[in-house]
Structures are given as structure tokens and as C-alpha cells.
Amino acid sequence: MLNYKKIKKSLKEVRDALERLELLEPMLDENSSDASVLKNSRQLSEFTVSVHKLIGSIPDPFLPTMVQSAHAVIESKPSKQLHSAVVSSDVSEDKFQALLKATEDRLRQAIQAELAKIMVADAFAPAPAPNGQIYSDAYTTDDAVRQSEQRLRTIIDSTPLGIVITNEECKIEYVNSAYAQLYGYQPSELIGNSFTMIVPPDKREFWLDLHAKYLAGYKDIRGEWEVRHKTGKPIYILADAARIVGTDGKPKKVTFVSDISELIKLKDEARQSEMQLMQAEKMSSLGQMVAGVAHEMNTPLGFVRSNMDLLVEMFAEMKLLLERYNSLREEILHGSPVSVAQSMAAIEEATQKFTLYKQVDKITQNSIEGLTRIQELVSNLRNFSRLDEADFKPASLNQLLDSTLNIAGYLLKEITVEKHYGDVPNVMCYAAQLNQVFLNLITNAVQAINHDHGKITLSTAREGENIVVKITDNGVGIAPEHLNKIFEPFFTTKEIGKGTGLGLSIVYKIVEKHHGKIHVESERGKGSTFTITLPIGKVVADAESTALFSES
Amino acid sequence: MPEQVKILFVDDEQKVLESLELVFRDTPIRLATSGDEALKILRAEEISVLVSDQRMPKMSGVELLREAKKISPHTIRILLTGYSDLEQVIDSINTGEVYRYINKPWDNAKLRETVQFAARMYEQQKELRDMSKGIKSSASTSANDTTIDSSIELLFVDKNYEHLRGLKETFSEMRPTHVTADVDEGYHLLETRPIGVVVSDVLLNGFDGADFLAAVKERFPDVVTIMMTSSKDSSVAVRLINEGQIFRYIVKPFPKEAMRSTIDEALRRYVLQKQQPSQNLKRQEQQVATAAVASTSSNSQSLSQLLEEVRQRLAEKKTY
């Protein structure tokens, strides 16, 4: 049975192949280069294949005499001279069939080899011009293979992933369009040049070294890198690479890159705004603390200053009295009885005014007490801030709690504070940060108390390798529906403008940084308990990280 | 001379009270260590001046002032405090109607001067009250109930034209309303129009709104002044209390209704002060001051002259 459709299709293919062969023909006459020979041989194979397909599609009885000439084509080494392509021959039908079979196998092998070559060559070739003519010669009999190859190419060219192949000499051999676009170049500007044109100028040595080491197999390229756009502006890429062996048998580096500049920018912005918020919260708690401390400080300053004014007044009174006594003495020695009497009266008057001296003990005593209070306050502030201390070092949580209580003193005037401190070892910590945690929790506890018999209980205890700190109040408690939200940033039950809603989220972060845990138990109307568990940690010798002598 | 009315000092710190007791050793005073105790005294006795700390447990100074205003409206209220944030300062103006705001640590001589000055004002007001009681019937004190004379005009000064337009729209239906971005024009309007209430922004073109309001109060003590601002600054607010006898301090943006009721209140205050000059602390202050020093200020001054004079007087001022 004749399958006309199939024959028609085969015929068309033969005609197309012939056309292409004819197109190539004139090129072969003069100085036929290897490339043109290769191209020709490829075309020839295609033509042969198409002819074979045509023959295959026609049942034996219908085979025309020209098959004999086709046989000759198959016989001849499928290349070299196109002129011999169509030659007549007298080969018997049987022999022809056998030959055809053998040729078919050979062809299949040849085509497969050719296909593999084309694919490698394509991978290295520059991106196709918009009209796609460069690939017009990539014909295969196997539609599936061709399709998959095209699919692959489409994928490579449409992927937003930049792909670049770099050789041992650090020269760029291939880029896909996404890669060229990412850096702002045309593919032709990149291909053939050293890849260092896209790395930061001061990192060139590093990259050349890394490239060599990567190809040698002992360095990785995976990661985030800063590179340079054509305009010189820094861009950020996420890269990964693979080693391949090129058609020339030499190792190449295939690098896949994606632009993460936006991501980095966003991350940066997020980090900055987070820092700003943390700063805002710090300022807000600092503001509250400053308000409290300023008032605490200005109260004793107020009466001490006033007392100094009073002492000045008193000394003025005393001076007046002394002067009058002196003049009395003069009058007694040299004056008249009348002038003595006048002096006596003046002394009497000054004595009447001289009343402050009776209070001098109280004035001085109060002043000294006031100054002591200011002194303590300043030392509390220093203890609390721990500005002059190393960052991460062992500290006593009991002491930290006490210095926080001192600083929060103004809040605790009406509240009973109970301490149940255990005999606990020091904990490796950032003391100033833990103070911030404790101040926040104590402040919250005070704010939760809305009655006259407020009580805050602080306890510390050792549990295995951890210290457990509990801060308990008998305030209003936390609504059950809020319990799982209170450590979230911006969660606040305070009215707008009264709190940033970041306090507890920062507490959480600090505890997390110490590899600790924090949780809360609360009952409406009964109060809340915040429990912090902190690992004791090991004292790390700093000898390893610190040099003895500093560089000059 | 009749027995002097007592001054009440309130502070939760006993040692502050002990010092104040000595500072005012020649003056009859009362002491209290809490707001509750102070209110008890205010209910039981006549008190001319109330001087209170702000930050005290249970009842803050502003809260005490607010309650004191209800119990003894004529008592002059002063805050003597170690620290107050802006909210508290604004509250002390708007709800406590504080006369002076004094920071700790204080200067004994200045404090004495200020408190005694306030006490003298109280005595004078009282005399005026007693006098008018004899003359007028009780009907005249009902300024709250009567509708306010619609001929009293309003003046808004702001550099933001958008805001000025909004204010004009809101208030011109009620009564003649002037708006201007020009301070000199505002001053001219005050001299020529029957303006009862001036509302000014803190930032004016080339001018400090606080200076302007202080000068207005100095020259037109009857005019009720209101500061509106979007930039919160507690030191400006304190200045406005101590130098400008500000009536209200409002923060932009504010609800239209709140502004309306604030203006109503200010107009009522204006009418009351006109009817009973004894209610006007600024006028009283000037009268007490002129009794001590002869005033040189003439009635026809340019704004810049006035501002200069006010600034100078403030610089020389012995009291807070």
C-alpha cells in the first residue's frame, strides 16, 4: 500500500535537501575550507537520509530506476565530492537492499555523531540573530531529537538565568542573552574577552586565582558575589558553576548566575528599618528611663541647691551679727554708753533675724543625703549601662537584676519587691543587653499593676546547665488571645503613640541571641510570670582570637 | 493687716518640703506629701497659691491641678518639677491651667519672688471680687450660659495657607474671622479690630509664634491666646506658660470639633475676663508689676518695638 502522505512528505524533504545542496555547490569549487566541507557533508548526509526515507516510504515494486543512482550515493563516502552524488549504477536489487541496510546503520551512526557535535558547537556559539538563520543547517532526521534540542535552546535563551562558559585562559566563550543583559553588554562584547571585565577591579587577582582553582577542582564558586555592570555600578549575583569538557578536550567553567541586586537592596532596607525600629524602641525606653532618672536626680539636686542658697543666706546673717559684735566691742572700749546701747540694739535686731542657724544641722544633713543619692544614682546608671565593660563576659544575674531594680527605683516606690535569688553561677552574657531585658520586663510588670498592693517577685535558680530567671507581677495579666502574640514586633495593647510594640520582641531577640528561652504564663486579674532560661555557657579563652601585640 | 492666705506646697519628697519650709520661713504655708493630702487641705482652707511637684505616685501634679481648679478655682497653680515630658506640659496648660512652670533645681530668691508675686495677685483678685460682689448681682457671672457676643472676632496666624483656608471656612460662619500669614498684619488687626481670641502656629514666617503670642498678651492682656503646632516642643510650651499666659496648646492635626469647642471656651474666657478683670491673670500680673515698677510702655508701639521690649523685660525678670 502506498502511503501518499508519507511519500509526499519524504519527497518534499528530498527536494529541500537538494535545494540546500545546490545552494552550497558553488562554494565547493573554489578553495573549499574544512568548515564548508563539514557543512557540505552534513547537507549531503541529510540529503541522503531524506532520499533513504523516501525510498523507504515507497514499496519495492514502485521503486523507480533512479534508485540505482541513489545506491551509488550511499556507497560513496558521504562527503567529499558532491558531483558524484548522483551517479547511475547497475547494482542488483538484492545487493542494493543489503547495501541500503548497511548504509542505513552507518548513516544512523553518522547522524548521531553529527548531532552530538552540533549540540556542543551550538552551546558554544553566540546567541542567534533574531532571524535565527545561524541554525538553519541543524537538520536531523530525528524530529524528536531536533525538537528537544530546539526546546533546550529556547530554554537557554529565554531563561532569566545567565549562563556563561569560560575557558582555561579566562576567556569568555559563550554567553546566553540573559547573561549579557544582566551585565549590560552585547554578547559580542563579552565573547572572546577575559571574564575579569565583570568583576570589581580590585578583585581581579582574586577571581583569576579562584577561576584557576575552580577548574583545577578544589574551589567552589557557589555563593553571592558582587560584580560590575557595564556602567561600573555594583550588582549582586547568586552564582553556581559546573565543570565541563569542551570539544577541544579542555576543561571549561559553566557558570549560572542570577541577579539578586534587588533582593540585596530589599534585605538591606529591611535590615536598616529594623535597626531604626530597634533604635526607636531603645530611644523610647531610654526616653522613659531618662525621664525617670532626670526626675530622680533633680529632686535631690533641687533641695541641695535650695539648701546651699539657705546656707549662703545664713552666713550673711551670721556675718552681720559678727560685724555688730565687733562694733559693740569697739564701742565698749572706746565709745559712750549711748553708742554701746545702740550697738546692743543692733545686735538684738540681727539676732532676731538670725534663725536659720537652728536649722543648720538639718540643712547640711539633708544636703549630704541628697548628694549621696545623686552619687548612687550615677553609679547605678553606670552599673546599668555597663559602658566600660567587655561585651560578652561572665556576669551575675542577681547583680544585673539588682542594678536594674536600682535604675527602675522611681517606678517601684509604691510596689513591694520580693527577691528570691538562688546561689547561681555567673552566666556568659552581654550584661547591658540583659539589663535591657530585665528593665523592660520590670517596667511592664509595674505598668500591669493597677492597684495599691502591687508586688513584683524576682527569682533566680539553677536548673542543670541553665539559670532560670522569673519575673512575676500581680497585675492585670495578659488576655489569653494575646499570649501568643506578645513577642511579635509591633504588637501592643497600649494606645497609639504610647508604645512602639517592640519592647518584648527585642527582649525575645536578646534572649535568643544568648541561646536562651523566654516564655510567659498569665492569668487575667492575677498577674503574669515571665520565665527566662539562659545557658550558663563556658568561659571562652580569648587567647586564640587576640594577638598579644597590636600592629603598629 | 488681715492674716495672709496660706501657700500650699506639695511634694512626695519630704526633704524638698523641708527646704521649702525654710525658704518660706516668713510666709504662712502648708505642706502636703501627696495629691490626696493637698486636696483635703484645699477643701478645708483658703489657699492662695498651690505649688506642686509633677511626678508623684498615685496622683500626678497635673491631675492635682485639675482637681484643685474644681475645688478652689481662684487658687493660683504652679508646677515645680524635676522633669516633665511634653504630654505633661501640654496637659498642665490645657487641663491644669497652670500659671507657672518651674524646673528643679530652683533658685530660692526667684522662687520666693514668683510665689509671693502670685500670692499678691491672689489677694488683689480677691479684693476685686469682693468689690464687684457688692456692686453687681450674681447674674453677671453666668457667662457660661449666655451666647457669646457675635461681634467678638477671631484671628488665626499661620504660614500654611491651606490651614488658614480651612480655619476660615470653619469659623467665618460663626463670627468675623481673620486669617493671615503675616505677623505684622495680624498685629495691625489686633490694634484695629475687636479681636477676642488669637490662634497662632509656632512657626511663622521669620517669626517665633511663641514670641508673637507673648507680645500679644503683653500688649492686649484681655485677648485669649492659643498656640497650635505640629512640632511638639516642651521648652516652647513652658515658655508659653511662663511668658505668654497661654490659654491652650493644641497639636496639629486636631479634630474640627475639638477646635470649635476650644475656640468657644476661649471666647467664654474672653467675655469672663472682660466682665471680671479679676479673672485675668495677665492683667493682674501687670498691675502687680506696675505697682512695683512704673511702666514705660506706651499704647502706640510697632510690633517689633513691642517684641524688643518684651524680650528685654523677660531677660531682666527676676521671677520665673
Can you give the C-alpha Rg of chain A in angstroms? Answer: 47
Q: Which of B20, B82, B108 sits opposite A295 (nearest CB)?
A: B82
> Distance (Å, rounded) from C-alpha B98 to C-alpha B53?
12
Given an 8 Å threshold on Cβ–Cβ distance, is B15 in contact with A370?
yes
Given an 8 Å threshold on Cβ–Cβ distance, is A299 in contact with B107?
no
String of DSSP letters for B136-200: S-GGGG-TTTSPP-TT-EEEEE-S-HHHHHHHHHHHTTTS-EEEES-HHHHHHHHHHS-EEEEEE
Long-range contacts (CB closer than 8 Å, 24 or more residues apart) made by A196-199: A196/A170, A197/A228, A198/A227, A198/A228, A199/A225, A199/A227, A199/A228
Given an 8 Å threshold on Cβ–Cβ distance, is A298 in contact with B104?
yes
pLDDT exceeds 50 at position A189: yes
CA of B19 vs chain A CAs: smallest distance (Å) = 6
- Note whether B306 and B215 are within 8 A (CB): yes
Given an 8 Å threshold on Cβ–Cβ distance, is A300 in contact with B15?
yes
- pLDDT at residue B1 in the model: 47
> Distance (Å, rounded) from C-alpha A159 to C-alpha A172?
19
- pLDDT at residue A460 in the model: 95
- pLDDT at residue A496 in the model: 54
pLDDT exceeds 70 at position B295: no
CA of B275 vs chain A CAs: smallest distance (Å) = 41
Mean pLDDT, chain B, rounded, equals 85
Given an 8 Å threshold on Cβ–Cβ distance, is B106 in contact with A300?
no
CA of B285 vs chain A CAs: smallest distance (Å) = 26
Q: Is A207 exposed, middle or buried (0-12, 13-18, 19+ CB in 10 A)?
A: buried
Give the chain A residue nearest B86 (alpha carbons). A291
C-beta neighbour count of A268 within 10 angstroms: 10
> Distance (Å, rounded) from C-alpha A16 to C-alpha A37?
19
Q: Which of A103-117, A288-302, B172-186 has the lowest mean pLDDT?
A: A103-117
- Note whether B224 and B263 are within 8 A (CB): no
Q: Does A374 touch chain B (CB under 8 A)?
A: no
Quick one: pLDDT band at residue B2, thresholds 50, 70, 90?
A: low
Give the chain B residue nearest A302 (alpha carbons). B105
**Which residues from B are below 8 Å from A309, CB to CB?**
23, 107-109
Q: Which of A299, A307, A413 sits opposite B57 (nearest CB)?
A: A413
Q: Which one-letter DSSP state was computed for residue A171?
A: B
Q: Does A299 touch chain B (CB under 8 A)?
A: yes
> Distance (Å, rounded) from C-alpha A546 to C-alpha A372?
41
- CATH T-level topology, domain A159-259: Beta-Lactamase (3.30.450)
Q: Which of A298, A304, A310 sits opposite B82 (nearest CB)?
A: A298
Amino acid at B72: S
- pLDDT at residue A543 in the model: 42
Written as nine digits, the cell of A508 is 525575645
Q: Which of B25, B104, B107 sits opposite A299 (nearest CB)?
A: B104
CA of B82 vs chain A CAs: smallest distance (Å) = 4
Element (H, E) at B7: strand B6-10
Quick one: pLDDT band at residue A89, thresholds 50, 70, 90?
A: very low
pLDDT exceeds 80 at position B159: yes
**Which residues from B are below 8 Å from A364, CB to CB?**
none
Quick one: pLDDT band at residue A213, thresholds 50, 70, 90?
A: confident
CA of A352 vs chain B CAs: smallest distance (Å) = 12
Given an 8 Å threshold on Cβ–Cβ distance, is A299 in contact with B23?
no
Q: Look at B316 and B154; give whichever has higher pLDDT.
A: B154
pLDDT exceeds 50 at position A146: yes
Q: Which of A292, A362, A410 sits opposite B18 (nearest CB)?
A: A362
- pLDDT at residue A140 in the model: 47
pLDDT average, residue stretch A43-52: 73
What structural domains does chain B harbor?
6-135 (3.40.50.2300), 153-314 (3.40.50.2300)
Top residue of B81, B83, B232 to mutate, by most chain A CBs within 10 Å, is B83
> Distance (Å, rounded) from C-alpha B254 to C-alpha B262?
11
Q: Look at A272 and A545; give whichever has higher pLDDT.
A: A272
Q: Can you list the alpha helix ranges (DSSP code H) found in chain B?
A: 14-23, 35-44, 61-71, 86-94, 108-135, 161-171, 183-192, 209-219, 234-244, 256-275, 281-292, 303-316
CA of B236 vs chain A CAs: smallest distance (Å) = 18
Work out how many CB contacts closer than 8 A connect A with B.
79
**Which residues from A are below 8 Å from B19, CB to CB?**
302-303, 306-307, 310, 363, 366
Q: Which of B19, B57, B83 sits opposite A303 (nearest CB)?
A: B19
- pLDDT at residue A283 in the model: 63
Written as nine digits, the cell of B319 is 521671677
Given an 8 Å threshold on Cβ–Cβ distance, is A295 in contact with B15?
no
Q: pLDDT exceeding 90 applies to what percent of chain A?
A: 22
CA of A459 vs chain B CAs: smallest distance (Å) = 26
> Distance (Å, rounded) from C-alpha A537 to C-alpha A429?
8
The domains of chain A are located at 4-122, 159-259, 267-377, 386-535
- pLDDT at residue B301 in the model: 67
Q: Does A382 touch chain B (CB under 8 A)?
A: no
- pLDDT at residue A438 in the model: 92
- pLDDT at residue B256 in the model: 87
pLDDT average, residue stretch B51-79: 92
pLDDT exceeds 90 at position A155: no
Question: Could you read off the pLDDT of B237-270 as tens digits, one per residue?
Answer: 888 888 878 899 988 888 888 899 999 999 988 9
pLDDT exceeds 70 at position A178: yes
Q: Does A325 touch chain B (CB under 8 A)?
A: no
Question: Could you read off the pLDDT of A107-143 as tens digits, one per residue?
Answer: 666 666 666 666 666 555 554 444 444 444 444 456 6
CA of B31 vs chain A CAs: smallest distance (Å) = 15
Could you report how far apart the first and last alpha carbons of chain B are, in Å?
28
> Distance (Å, rounded) from C-alpha A381 to C-alpha B316?
38
Complex prediction ipTM: 0.80
pLDDT exceeds 90 at position A378: no
The order of strands in the sheet holding A466-473 is A416-421, A455-463, A466-473, A527-535, A517-523
Written as nine digits, the cell of B62 is 497635673
Top residue of A297, A306, A357, A415 to mutate, by most chain B CBs within 10 Å, is A306
**Which residues from B are below 8 Å from A302, CB to CB?**
16, 19, 80, 82, 104-106
Q: Which of B23, B82, B85 sits opposite A310 (nearest CB)?
A: B23
Q: Is B153 exposed, middle or buried (0-12, 13-18, 19+ CB in 10 A)?
A: middle
Give the chain B residue nearest A303 (alpha carbons). B16
- pLDDT at residue A78 in the model: 45
Q: Which of A287, A310, A414 sits opposite B22 (nearest CB)?
A: A310
Q: pLDDT exceeding 90 applies to what percent of chain B?
A: 42
Pairing of strands A427-430, B203-204: unpaired
Q: Which of A297, A302, A356 sits opposite B106 (nearest CB)?
A: A302
Give the chain A residue nearest B17 (alpha carbons). A303
Mean pLDDT is highest, among A196-200, A245-249, B38-42, B208-212, for B38-42
Question: Could you read off the pLDDT of A300-311 as tens digits, one per residue?
Answer: 999 999 999 999
- pLDDT at residue A393 in the model: 82
Q: Look at A262 and A117; give whichever has higher pLDDT.
A: A262
CATH 2.60.40.10 assigned to A386-535: no
Q: Which of A287, A306, A359 sits opposite B108 (nearest CB)?
A: A306
Q: Does A301 touch chain B (CB under 8 A)?
A: yes
Q: Look at B149 and B201; give whichever has higher pLDDT.
A: B201
Given an 8 Å threshold on Cβ–Cβ distance, is B22 in contact with A414?
no
Pairing of strands B248-251, B224-229: parallel
> Distance (Å, rounded) from C-alpha A245 to C-alpha A264?
34
Q: What sign for the dihedral angle of Cα A116, A117, A120, A126? A: negative
pLDDT exceeds 90 at position B52: yes
CA of B54 vs chain A CAs: smallest distance (Å) = 9
- pLDDT at residue A138 in the model: 46
**Which residues from A are below 8 Å from B10, CB to CB?**
none
Q: Look at B295 and B60; give whichever has higher pLDDT.
A: B60
C-beta neighbour count of B162 within 10 angstroms: 8
**Which residues from A are below 8 Å from B16, CB to CB?**
299, 302-303, 306
pLDDT average, residue stretch A49-60: 68
Given an 8 Å threshold on Cβ–Cβ distance, is B22 in contact with A299?
no
Question: Could you read off the pLDDT of A397-435 as tens digits, one per residue?
Answer: 999 999 888 888 777 878 899 999 999 999 988 888 898
